[in-house]
Structure 1
């Protein structure tokens, strides 16, 4: 939920859908002024802190805010995959259709396998964002 459109309970429900537990190590990539600040703040409240892409930690979750104009999606997905634990997940957060920076699902479907990831599901992540769950295939 966005800061203006959602309740705290709605944001917690989204975090639960994203599977972010209190002991998760979470890395964030692509932070900018257009992200859903209520969602981000709720994740921080749940896990304590977000690591940036320079972390040496093995991470459980990567929150990747990505827009069409941000560059090469394959490259950033490969960077996001590197610090993931074996059971880790990348949540690719992209603007919804009709919003500035929207990415077609076909682009995600093409980029993910090239980066060694599989798309498994998508959830509504607020007023302006959709989250696509990307995981490494088993036995990578």
Structure 2
């Protein structure tokens, strides 16, 4: 019966669809008035911890990076996002949907992610105005083994 409950939670809690778990520390970068508050609240509810900001000085379990076209260099933002997480931890890049102010081309995301040493593993609908791209360090780069 718990499997059914887990699937129901994934449908109703957007943070569960992103793979967040109770007890995780999630660092949030790029917060502004236009971010998806429902998703932010869902992450805090599911993890049981408040989102931490760029001033957090310990290792986080994941990063949520809100990024708009005019926010600067995406590659730099992605590199910065990986400095306080362990290899293999996800960076959820949240960008405005097509037609919204600040929309970022998928090709720009792919190029910036590759340059930053990340691989895109999935994309989700992250709310009314936002799309989420899950980026991680590629397995070969994080294993350190041959």
TM-score (ref. length: structure 2): 0.85
**Which blocks of at least 5 consecutive residues in structure 2 are unaligned?**
1-8
| Unpaired segments ≥5 residues, structure 1 | 1-7
Structure-1 residue corresponding to 2:34 = 34
1:78 aligns with 2:102: no
- Any runs of at least 4 consecutive aligned residues in structure 1 with deviations exceeding 3 A, and if so which? 8-11
SS in 2 for 1:122: strand
CA distance in 2, matches of 1:62, 1:29: 7
Which structure dedicates a bigger proportion of its chain to helix? 2
**Counting strand residues as a fraction of each chain, which structure ranks higher?**
1
Aligned length: 132
Higher relative contact order, structure no. (Cα contacts within 8 Å, ≥ 6 residues apart): 1
Aligned twin of 1:3: none
Which runs of structure 2 are paired with 1:94-109 in the superposition (5 Å)? 94-109=95-110
Deviation at 1:107, TM superposition (A): 0.1
Cα deviations across residues 91-132 of structure 1 (Å, max 9, x unaligned)?
Answer: 000000000000000000100011111111100111110000
Matches within 5 A, 1:35-54: 35-47=35-47, 48-54=49-55
Q: CA deviation at 1:11?
A: 5.2
Question: Matched residues in 1 for 2:17 and 2:43: separation?
Answer: 12
Q: TM-score, normalised by structure 1?
A: 0.88
Deviations 1:60-114 (A, max 9, x none): 1100000001000011100001111233100000000000000000000100011
Cα-Cα RMSD:
1.6
